[in-house]
């Protein structure tokens, strides 16, 4: 705890508010799909949920641009203000029975606001965190987010049937609290940079800013690696989940008793969340002296290998062992991945880089959907092979990134000498 309180106040505040934001998201987002399906049908509900992705991408890109031009703090305030106002309207629409589409529209705008603030939030943390502290900061942030997601999903599940309106109203109160903290306590962190020489304005300035990001080949490799890592993570809820629901024979799993495939999926997710919450800080402390290259290569090997076992095995205990292995790999890899993100996103244009990076979430969703269809015609052994190939590709991307970092460090050393 002493290390945490030694961090910059902005970092401590943003990590604390990350818990609030993710708790609200977990309590509402998972169950808004169920709500829509019950009121407008499954097909339309699916299409409406996909629109969230459009709002998210648009919000992130606009937020990255505005954070670079106007500063981090104003964008954080606007994001929380939009979230607060439209969560209140969402609660009113729910209680006043304005209809499911009104409830949906309000939450779509909430998602726009939260994603608008996402690049500014990460830039605020990176701006004031020395490179030596970044792995620790990202480990703590990851731990907090997992705790919030697990708690929020549990609360939402118990409250949805009879108190969904109260959940929405509670989300509005939480978002208002986050807005108050941001307005009163969070300081601006945008570095002083010279004004751009080009006379571009408006859309041309927006496009040119992201063009600079996309021509950065090293950063593109990080996005590719992040996309494939997220795709593997999503397989637990998609292809692997489908296989468990259809092919897994009911088995006794102490202390859960006899479990079906769907229940086994829940057990695996619970085990992953609990392990992250309990061991994230411990693993990071144990591995703090391990070289990044070893940590990434070993972590990705364990991660991809664990998912390969999950997709082929029907034995509950082997599945649990694989879940433990991939979680260890996840804890080894993620802090280094986030530290590389902070390092590769330059001070000038940092929010735009972060906004472009978070597109990997949408790319991962697309690849995941393709793998669902592929899983219908490819054997489980074939899917396991695909996961292992993903692992190799991720390691190759990291290899190039780390080699370029070493070359750049050597060049900087020779210049200083």
In this prediction the pTM is 0.80
Do 179 and 212 lie in a common domain?
A: no
Do 350 and 241 lie in a common domain?
A: yes
322-327-329 Cα angle (round to 5): 95
Do 181 and 316 lie in a common domain?
A: no
Do 220 and 157 lie in a common domain?
A: no
Contact indicator for 142, 280 with CB cutoff of 8 Å = yes
Do 172 and 236 lie in a common domain?
A: no
The predicted pLDDT at position 90 comes to 96
Among 133, 158, 186, where does a domain finish?
Answer: 186
Does residue 331 belong to any structural domain of this protein? yes
Does residue 109 belong to any structural domain of this protein? yes
Do 39 and 133 lie in a common domain?
A: yes
Do 160 and 217 lie in a common domain?
A: no
Does residue 417 belong to any structural domain of this protein? no
Separation of alpha carbons 121 and 123, rounded Å = 5
Does residue 194 belong to any structural domain of this protein? no
Closest CA to 21 of 186, 236, 188, 181: 181
Q: Cβ–Cβ contacts within 10 Å for residue 351, how many?
A: 31
Does residue 195 belong to any structural domain of this protein? no
Do 182 and 209 lie in a common domain?
A: no
The predicted pLDDT at position 197 comes to 47
Do 312 and 241 lie in a common domain?
A: yes
CATH code of the domain containing 355:
1.20.1250.20
Does residue 8 belong to any structural domain of this protein? yes
pLDDT (tens place) for every residue of the chain, 417 residues total: 677 888 899 999 999 999 999 999 888 876 787 788 888 887 787 778 777 777 788 888 888 888 888 889 999 999 999 999 999 999 999 999 999 999 999 999 998 999 999 989 989 998 999 988 888 998 899 899 988 888 887 788 778 878 899 999 999 999 999 999 999 999 998 887 655 545 545 555 556 557 767 788 899 999 999 999 999 998 887 888 888 888 889 888 877 778 888 888 878 888 888 898 888 888 888 888 899 999 999 999 999 999 999 999 999 999 999 999 999 999 999 999 999 998 988 877 788 888 888 888 888 878 887 888 888 889 999 999 999 999 999 999 999 999 998 888 777 666 555
61 membership: H or E segment, kind and range: helix 42-70
The count of structural domains within the chain is 2
Do 276 and 139 lie in a common domain?
A: no
Closest CA to 183 of 73, 259, 90: 73
State which residues form the domain around 305: 205-409
Do 347 and 239 lie in a common domain?
A: yes
363 phi/psi in degrees, rounded to 5: -60, -40
Separation of alpha carbons 308 and 150, rounded Å = 25
Does residue 415 belong to any structural domain of this protein? no
Do 170 and 239 lie in a common domain?
A: no
Does residue 197 belong to any structural domain of this protein? no
Matching residue, tokens 């309990």: 278
């Amino acid at each position: 705890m002493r290390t945490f309180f030694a961090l910059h106040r902005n970092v401590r505040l943003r990590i604390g508010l990350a818990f609030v934001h993710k708790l609200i998201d977990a309590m509402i987002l998972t169950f808004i799909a169920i709500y829509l399906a019950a009121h407008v049908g499954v097909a339309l509900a699916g299409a409406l949920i996909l629109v969230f992705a459009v709002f998210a991408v648009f919000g992130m890109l606009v937020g990255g641009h505005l954070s670079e031009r106007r500063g981090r703090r104003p964008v954080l305030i606007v994001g929380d203000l939009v979230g607060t106002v439209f969560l209140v309207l969402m609660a009113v629409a729910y209680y006043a029975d304005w209809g499911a589409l009104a409830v949906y529209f309000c939450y779509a705008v909430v998602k726009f606001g939260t994603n608008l603030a996402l690049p500014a939030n990460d830039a605020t943390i990176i701006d004031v965190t020395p490179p030596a502290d970044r792995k620790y900061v990202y480990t703590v942030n990851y731990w907090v987010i997992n705790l919030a997601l697990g708690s929020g999903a549990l609360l939402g599940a118990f409250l949805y049937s009879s108190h969904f309106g109260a959940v929405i109203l509670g989300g509005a109160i939480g978002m208002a609290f986050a807005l108050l903290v941001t307005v009163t306590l969070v300081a601006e962190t945008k570095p002083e940079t010279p004004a751009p020489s080009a006379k571009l304005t408006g859309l041309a300035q927006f496009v040119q800013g992201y063009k600079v990001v996309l021509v950065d080949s090293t950063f593109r490799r990080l996005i590719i690696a992040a996309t494939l890592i997220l795709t593997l993570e999503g397989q637990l809820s998609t292809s692997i989940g489908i296989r468990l629901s259809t092919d897994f024979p009911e088995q006794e799993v102490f202390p859960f008793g006899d479990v079906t495939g769907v229940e086994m999926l829940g057990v695996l997710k619970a085990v992953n969340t609990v392990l992250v919450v309990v061991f994230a800080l411990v693993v990071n402390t144990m591995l703090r002296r391990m070289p990044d290259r070893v940590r990434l290569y070993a972590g990705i090997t364990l991660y991809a290998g664990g998912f390969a076992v999950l997709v082929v095995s029907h034995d509950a205990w082997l599945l649990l062992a694989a879940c433990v292995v991939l979680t260890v790999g996840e804890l080894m890899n993620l802090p280094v991945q986030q530290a590389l993100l902070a390092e590769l996103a330059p001070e000038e244009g940092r929010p735009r880089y972060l906004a472009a990076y978070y597109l990997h979430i949408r790319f991962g969703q697309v690849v995941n959907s393709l793998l669902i269809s592929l899983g219908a015609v490819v054997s489980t052994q074939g899917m396991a092979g695909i996961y292992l190939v993903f692992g190799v590709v991720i390691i190759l991307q990291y290899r190039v990134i780390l080699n370029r970092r070493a070359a750049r460090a050597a060049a900087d050393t020779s210049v200083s000498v």
